Amino acid sequence: MTAKPLKQAILPAIRLTVLLLFGAVSAFADCPNKVRPPAGDPLHMLALGDSIMWGQGLKQDRKFWWRVKCWLEEKTERQVVEKVVAHSGAHLDNSQTTPPRFTSNDGEVNLPFPTVNQQLDQVLKFYGNDRLNVDLVLVNGCINDVDVSNLLDATTAHEWLRGRVTTACRTGMHALLRRIATSFPNAQVLVPG
* Residue 17 located in a structural domain: no
Domain count, the chain: 1
Query: 10 and 151 in contact (C-beta within 8 Å)?
Result: no
CATH number for the domain that contains residue 139: 3.40.50.1110
* Residue 27 located in a structural domain: no
Higher confidence at residue 9 or residue 113? Answer: 113
- Of residues 90, 179, 95, the one with CA closest to residue 141: 90
- What would the mean pLDDT of 15-41 be, rounded to a whole number? 51
* Residue 30 located in a structural domain: no
Range of the domain at 177: 41-190
- pTM over cut 0.75: yes
* Residue 8 located in a structural domain: no
Q: pLDDT tens digit string along 147-179?
A: 989 889 999 999 999 999 999 899 999 999 999
- Of residues 40, 37, 45, 49, the one with CA closest to residue 66: 45
